[in-house]
Structure 1
């Protein structure tokens, strides 16, 4: 399955970079989030690969959902965000990613995150996570296994560049976390997975396709993502009374097992 993910993500990333190089306009979706032709073209490529190789597995993809195309899901399905960090893409920062994840019984069991402008990709399945270095021909040049690091006493945090919040600042202050790096897209999960930081608290709204692939990489590297009550973040949340289908609650991702801290 990861081989299909890699082929789809690399082809989608190549298309995104071609559009990125020549520039494109953006529009607003119904939820006021931005969308570009790069989002739409990347999703078209990914859906083609997934439908060809796994025709019986439903796909929940961001732009399709925005267009009202929402297949019924069973215990297993794909989650796709063809261009996470569209604001970074529009602002010409390289922190945008292609995201594909496989969900089984509510858990992200396989996923890939590809940052085409950075020539890096991350994948995870089971207890194996990799960092991939992509060459100019959009092929994997080399791979390296990655793992989360042992939680130090002086933890460092990651926060959203575009969606930070006062609650995040309170969490950091209450838990004496003085070092925090702002970065866009699902790369935050990947930095935790490779031991570059220790915690990513998220107190603003996300959707499942925003987090599933990165979460899969993090879990495969030994990390965890939990809701504020300490339960694992789950996927396939439909029929929610307090939010729309596939919306996430607030969560905290850890590079390892979550400690008992304040403000969570």
Structure 2
């Protein structure tokens, strides 16, 4: 099957990173740093990116990788680089600090005809709280996501959501070899017919998003979780809708591709739909940000057009 080899490499890398991240999270002395934008980053973010970039580069040396982190902060702190290296050495014993920094910076590639995009820990605040987080990997060719893998160690017993374009989506257990096909929720009477929303209120306009959800019949209490685990929740029937609508005060905000690429294909291959707030497909072909798209709508499919209409009506009411 096409992309089977790429998918196996991505899943193996995501599993390794999940083991590493859980080991770091169980550590009693790990701390977070602040990036220039004041968002947190941890040893696990850097170490997971090093592991995954190393694995992808070994398997596909010609493929650029567009990832969230860089080693810039670590070059300023030898002690932090040492800690990251020690975390990586749990899986690659002979790794040296300069190698680890170089592996992290493999993620500074450019968007092209074929490239990988990676978020080593999506939902770092959730990771720090002991809640949901995700390790998200996607392969993009000609602007279309061809495969995605999202490791969610805190989603129920721990799992990887994965999909290949045209071949469906699956959920793989991190504890066993069991797998199951994913299918979105089609029962609108189910208590799981609900909105999945971020714990962090800065990730969208929560009042507007809840209003839209209620307008299309999602009245059950929302499912709150960090990270692209929300895409997994929709793909596996735990929720019906995920919205990321920008604040009216920040109309120029655009989403990062690594925050949505893997999740989007998993929902689509499970039978759902993903678009921007105007119904346009997400364009991953031009930039590390979705510069041609505003907002995100991911749904179980049947309600998608109604959601888009509710968003348009809501926007018209604000004029």
TM range (shorter): 0.7 to 0.9
- Structure 2: unaligned runs, 5 residues or longer: 1-5, 74-104, 247-253, 313-319
1:175–1:263 Cα contact (<8 Å) kept: no
Q: Take 1:98 and 1:46, find their aligned partners in 2: how far apart are those partners? A: 10
Say which one has the larger Rg. Answer: 2
> What is residue 146 of structure 1 aligned with on the other side?
182
Whether 1:3 and 2:42 are equivalent positions in the alignment is: no
Instruction: Write out per-residue CA displacement over residues 159-181 of structure 1, whole angstroms, 9 at most, x where no aligned residue.
Output: 11113522213322433421221
Query: Greater shift after overlay, 47-56 or 218-227?
Result: 218-227
TM-superposed CA distance for 1:262, in Å, is 1.0
> What is residue 254 of structure 1 aligned with on the other side?
299
TM-superposed CA distance for 1:182, in Å, is 1.1
> What is residue 241 of structure 2 aligned with on the other side?
199
Instruction: Write out per-residue CA displacement over residues 220-261 of structure 1, whole angstroms, 9 at most, x where no aligned residue.
Output: 1121111111111221342xxxxx845663111011252233
Structure whose residues are more often strand by fraction: 1
Change (3 A) 1:246 1:231: closer
* 1:178-257 equivalences in 2 (<5 Å): 178-179=219-220, 180-204=222-246, 206-238=255-287, 245-246=289-290, 249-257=294-302
Query: Greater shift after overlay, 10-19 or 113-122?
Result: 113-122
Whether 1:17 and 2:17 are equivalent positions in the alignment is: no
Query: Greater shift after overlay, 25-34 or 37-46?
Result: 25-34
TM-superposed CA distance for 1:105, in Å, is 2.1
Q: Take 2:70 and 2:129, find their aligned partners in 1: how far apart are those partners? A: 24
Q: Take 2:274 and 2:113, find their aligned partners in 1: how far apart are those partners? A: 20
1:98–1:115 Cα contact (<8 Å) kept: yes
Whether 1:102 and 2:132 are equivalent positions in the alignment is: no
Q: Take 1:16 and 1:72, find their aligned partners in 2: how far apart are those partners? A: 26
Normalising to structure 1: TM-score of the pair?
0.88
Q: Take 1:114 and 1:8, find their aligned partners in 2: how far apart are those partners? A: 10
2:283–2:290 Cα contact (<8 Å) kept: no
Change (3 A) 1:117 1:170: closer
Instruction: Write out per-residue CA displacement over residues 193-243 of structure 1, whole angstroms, 9 at most, x where no aligned residue.
Output: 1122211111246421111111121111121111111111221342xxxxx
> What is residue 67 of structure 2 aligned with on the other side?
61
> What is residue 123 of structure 1 aligned with on the other side?
162
1:79–1:102 Cα contact (<8 Å) kept: yes
2:245–2:295 Cα contact (<8 Å) kept: yes
- Structure 1: unaligned runs, 5 residues or longer: 239-243
> What is residue 241 of structure 1 aligned with on the other side?
none
TM-superposed CA distance for 1:65, in Å, is 9.0
* Coordinate RMSD, CA, aligned: 2.2
Residue in structure 1 matching 2:172, options 115, 132, 135 = 132
1:151–1:255 Cα contact (<8 Å) kept: no
Normalising to structure 2: TM-score of the pair?
0.73
Helix, strand or coil at the partner of 1:141: coil
TM-superposed CA distance for 1:133, in Å, is 1.0
> What is residue 89 of structure 1 aligned with on the other side?
127
Query: Greater shift after overlay, 70-79 or 48-57?
Result: 70-79
Structure whose residues are more often helix by fraction: 2
2:151–2:160 Cα contact (<8 Å) kept: yes
